[in-house]
């Protein structure tokens, strides 16, 4: 293999730049030519390529976002789009492709590989951390620390004014962020898509907590919760308890910012492992980390299998709210 491409696709995640840096520098050290593809799969279709050398990735390890930019590309969901992308990759002589992102990114990679000759390796990069085959996706650690910083600040106000707060965190369809920040931020309760939200029970818990002498209460709501997000839940609780409350939706602040040390190290390890995999002739896998060890998972499994929440952590939420 002589030439590889790298792209970031879907939502950006802090640590993607550290991963691009690792891919470029490890690729160069292995004698490969490395091409950056801008704006995800759209960049293939629009032939938006940039040659990357070791110096082109200087001073990016600490930066959030992605220097390659990203996009969600509908055309790559069509046969026509896949055919066109494969033709362009072939013409460019790109034999290996490393794609950093979540399940949508991996679906695109598999479609390309199945319809052409390009060898693909995926790297999990999503703050949602909802990809099967890795304990942590790049960006998750930074996102939960950013959210936690905000929650701690809100706790100052909640405590001072004896208030009930509903804080909505990201997580399109999963509750990984909510669970971790719920534990780390000392939440009264967490509401996540994986568990049915029972408003009556929530009201009971809140009322009891104030009766036990608590002066404030923080409820973490995952944006994907089936009960409709923080505004709807807060309204339903108000109708029953008539307790003054405030809402804070953390939103995209959780996606930005300088990656934590943990995300930078993970990104560097996964980037290096992805290059090694391609050089060693592997293809069609996502490289992740399970129990501290590099692990390869067939790309299809990353979305066909479901990553489970830590049930022990889930149980702890209630116990620690006592």
Could you say whether residue 197 binds ligand F6P (CB under 6 A)? no
Residue owning tokens 């001073």: 59
Residues within window 47-106 making contact with ligand F6P, judged by CB under 6 A: 102
In whole angstroms, what is the distance from residue 143 CA to residue 301 CA? 25
Q: Return contacts of 300-303, CB within 8 angstroms, 24+ apart.
A: 300/110, 301/132, 301/133, 302/103, 302/106, 302/122, 302/124, 302/131, 302/132, 302/133, 303/103, 303/106, 303/107, 303/131, 303/132
DSSP 138-184: BTHHHHHHHHHHHHHHHHHHHHHTT-EEEEEE--SS--HHHHHHHHH
DSSP state, 244? -
Q: Which is nearer to ligand F6P, 140 or 245 (CB)?
A: 140
- Least distance to ligand F6P, CB of residue 67, Å: 18
List binders of ligand F6P among 221-250 (CB under 6 A).
223
* Contact region with ligand F6P (CB under 6 A), list: 88-96, 167-175, 192-200, 275-283: 167-175
95, 255, 263, 277: which one binds ligand F6P (CB under 6 A): 255
Q: Closer CB to ligand F6P, residue 82 or residue 137? A: 137
Q: Looking at beta carbons only, is 116 or 256 nearer to ligand F6P?
A: 256
193 touches ligand F6P by CB under 6 A: no
**Least Cβ distance, residue 173 to ligand F6P (angstroms):** 8
Q: How far is the CB of 52 from ligand F6P (least distance, A)?
A: 25
Alpha-carbon distance 321 to 301, whole Å? 36
Q: Judged by CB under 6 A, how many residues of this single chain contact ligand F6P? A: 10
Closest-CA residue to 185 (of 213, 162, 216, 212): 216
CB 260 within 8 A of CB 145: yes
Is 263 a catalytic site residue? no
Closest C-alpha to 116, from 105, 108, 124:
108
As a whole number of angstroms, the distance between CA 175 and CA 303 comes to: 16
CB of 72 to ligand F6P, least distance (A): 7
Cβ distance to ligand F6P smaller for residue 27 or 102? 102
CB of 43 to ligand F6P, least distance (A): 17
Q: Which residues pair with 166 in a beta bridge?
A: 219, 247
Kindly tell me which residue out of 77, 172, 214, 262 binds ligand F6P, with binding defined by CB under 6 A.
172
Binding residues among 115-144 for ligand F6P as defined by CB under 6 A: 126-128
> Which residue in 12, 103, 117, 128 is the catalytic one?
128
Closer by beta carbon to ligand F6P, 104 or else 185 = 104
Determine the 3-state secondary structure of 220 from DSSP. strand
Give the nearest distance from C-beta 170 to ligand F6P in angstroms: 3
Q: Up-side HSE of residue 276: CA atoms within 13 Å toward CB?
A: 11
- Choice between 65 and 116, CB closer to ligand F6P: 65
Write out the catalytic residue numbers: 128
Q: Which residues bind ligand F6P (CB under 6 A)?
A: 11, 102, 126-128, 170-172, 223, 255
């Amino acid at each position: 293999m002589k030439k590889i491409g790298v792209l970031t696709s879907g939502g950006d995640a802090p640590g993607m730049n550290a991963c691009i840096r690792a891919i470029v520098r490890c690729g160069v050290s292995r004698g490969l030519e490395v091409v950056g593809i801008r704006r995800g799969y759209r960049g293939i279709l629009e032939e938006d390529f940039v040659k990357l050398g070791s110096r082109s990735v200087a001073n990016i390890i600490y930066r959030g976002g992605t220097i390659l930019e990203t996009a969600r590309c509908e055309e790559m969901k069509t046969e026509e789009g896949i055919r066109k992308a494969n033709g362009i990759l072939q013409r460019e002589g790109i034999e290996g492709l490393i794609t950093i992102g979540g399940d949508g990114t991996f679906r695109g990679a598999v479609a390309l590989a199945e319809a052409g000759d390009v060898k693909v390796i995926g790297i999990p990069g999503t703050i949602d951390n909802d990809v099967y085959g890795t304990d942590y996706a790049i960006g998750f650690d930074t996102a939960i620390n950013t959210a936690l910083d905000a929650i701690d600040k809100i706790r100052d106000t909640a405590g001072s004014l004896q208030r009930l707060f509903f804080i909505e965190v990201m997580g399109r369809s999963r509750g990984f962020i909510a669970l971790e920040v719920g534990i780390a931020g000392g939440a009264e309760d967490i509401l996540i898509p994986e568990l049915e939200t029972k408003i009556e029970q929530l009201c009971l818990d809140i009322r009891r907590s104030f009766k036990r002498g608590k002066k404030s209460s923080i409820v973490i709501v995952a944006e994907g919760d089936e009960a409709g997000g923080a505004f709807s839940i807060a309204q339903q609780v108000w109708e029953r308890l008539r307790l003054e409350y405030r809402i804070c939706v953390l939103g995209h602040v959780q996606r930005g910012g300088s990656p934590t040390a943990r995300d930078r190290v993970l990104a560097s390890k996964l980037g290096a492992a992805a290059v090694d995999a391609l050089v060693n002739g592997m293809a069609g896998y996502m490289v992740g980390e399970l129990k501290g060890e590099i692990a390869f998972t067939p790309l299809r499994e990353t979305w066909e299998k479901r990553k489970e929440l830590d049930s022990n952590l889930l149980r702890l939420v209630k116990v620690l709210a006592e």
